[in-house]
Amino acid sequence: MYRGKKVTFTASKEVITKLLACNRTSADIWNACLAASKQHHIRTGTWINQTQLQQAVKGKFPLHSQSVQAVCHKYLFSRDSAIQSKKKGITTARYPHRQKRYFNTKWVDKAFTLHPNGKIELSLGIQNGKRVKPLVLFAKNLPTGDIKEIELCFDRKLYLSVTYDDGQVAKPQTGTYGAGVDMGEVQAIASVCENGEGILLSGRKLRSIHRLRNKKIAQLRRLMSKCKKGSRQWKKYNRAKQYILSKSDRQLRDGSHKITKAFVDWCIAQSIKEMFVGDVGTVSKGTKKKQKLRRRERQKISNWNVGQQVQYLTYKCQAQGIAVTNVNEAYSTQTCPVCHQRHKPKGRMYRCRCGYVSHRDTHGAKNILSEQLYGIFTPIEEKNLTYLRVA
């Protein structure tokens, strides 16, 4: 299975300067993609395709040809996702348009060479008919496994993001039960299994990291707005801002890993075969007026990094032979499974006039599950509920 790892490295000052230049060149390629795409659209009224785009940037930049192509791929990927989103009616989706100053450079396949002592050679390809001397750097904690891609990233300093195949084969599906999964902010994960077991994993710690981060960033933004952009004081605040961002990012990633790990362990213990995850992507949609009203709420949602959590959950489940299916979660938190009336729950419990009562968070998970199992919201007996607080 493919996995990613952040790898630090050492290199000579000269190489570091060249590496930084690589990411500036990649930004130039990105900007060239924007320009080529725009021109193509003006001239023909259609979208530029992969061959045409690659032709437009080929041989014009001092990087390995595959590194140039990688930027094109990223451009095409983000453009196509924007097209898809627009088709789905998400009006806020935008085509790639922003000019960049830095862009991660990627080395794939034959563009890099690895040596057993941790030496890495990154090729700059052939320029003007001559092979350019590769960039040499040294890494200590390279992952063991088949390395597929190396990406040069920057977060307060340069590092490598390495994609590799760990050689593990996903376990076959062995479980028996289905489970409904509802992701939220207060309860990071709420799930109920067909066998009647339920679990709640708290997300309060992640939320408090988010809140503290937002508060500090807002403070620094205010301070920065008072001084001249690029001045010494401004730079000082900017460094502090970058520090807070990268630190909180690390903490949040770590927390998401712990939560999803604990959840997958529970799933294995319950012998779960397939989980149905409520599609949270639909939460931030709505009419313009609604969006305005819900600004605060939307901010909450954008802070709560559910995409990352779903991603972590999916790959951990696949490794354990548990299938993950995204399902539409419309009204699952509002509808009563007994009388099918809709109303918003107040407080931590969901109470219906017909007498039905459930924990608010597992209520959604139960509805998601019953709809998948029986095609209709119907009560699922909950025998036992486990509370877990891991991060």
State the nearest-atom distance from the C-beta of 337 to Zn ion, in Å.
8
The amino acid that residue 288 corresponds to is: K
Task: State which of residues 356, 378, 382, 385 lies at the interface with Zn ion (CB under 5 A).
Answer: 356
Q: How many C-alpha atoms does 196 have within 13 Å on its Cβ side?
A: 4
Work out whether 338 is an interface residue with Zn ion (CB under 5 A).
yes
State the nearest-atom distance from the C-beta of 341 to Zn ion, in Å.
5
Task: State which of residues 35, 339, 357, 376 lies at the interface with Zn ion (CB under 5 A).
Answer: 339
Task: State which of residues 336, 368, 380, 391 lies at the interface with Zn ion (CB under 5 A).
Answer: 336
- Binding track over 45-74 against Zn ion, x by CB under 5 A: ------------------------------
Which one of 13-21, 275-283, 296-304, 352-360 is the stretch in contact with Zn ion (CB under 5 A)? 352-360
The amino acid that residue 316 corresponds to is: K
CB closer to Zn ion out of 353 and 383: 353
**Packing angle between helix 65-87 and helix 13-44, nearest 10 degrees?**
50
User: What is the rounded CA–CA span in Å between residue 156 and residue 1?
Assistant: 30
Say how many C-beta atoms besides its own lie within 10 A of residue 374's C-beta. Answer: 10
Work out whether 354 is an interface residue with Zn ion (CB under 5 A).
yes
State the nearest-atom distance from the C-beta of 377 to Zn ion, in Å.
10
User: What is the rounded CA–CA span in Å between residue 192 and residue 362?
Assistant: 6
> What values do phi and psi take at 108, rounded to 5?
-125, 160
User: What is the rounded CA–CA span in Å between residue 287 and residue 91?
Assistant: 10
Work out whether 126 is an interface residue with Zn ion (CB under 5 A).
no
Work out whether 349 is an interface residue with Zn ion (CB under 5 A).
no
Residue whose C-alpha is closest to residue 379's, from 316, 342, 337, 341: 337
- Binding track over 264-283 against Zn ion, x by CB under 5 A: --------------------
Beta bridge partners of 200: 190, 387
- Which residue in this structure is represented by tokens 């489940």? 317
State the nearest-atom distance from the C-beta of 352 to Zn ion, in Å.
3
Q: CA-based diameter of the chain, in Å? A: 80
Which one of 226-234, 264-272, 344-352, 383-391 is the stretch in contact with Zn ion (CB under 5 A)? 344-352
State the nearest-atom distance from the C-beta of 363 to Zn ion, in Å.
11
Torsion of CA 155, 209, 260, 276, to 10 degrees: -110
Helix (H, G, I), strand (E, B) or coil at 303: helix
Work out whether 352 is an interface residue with Zn ion (CB under 5 A).
yes
Which one of 68-76, 250-258, 355-363, 377-385 is the stretch in contact with Zn ion (CB under 5 A)? 355-363
State the nearest-atom distance from the C-beta of 358 to Zn ion, in Å.
10
Residues that bind Zn ion (CB under 5 A): 336, 338-339, 352, 354, 356
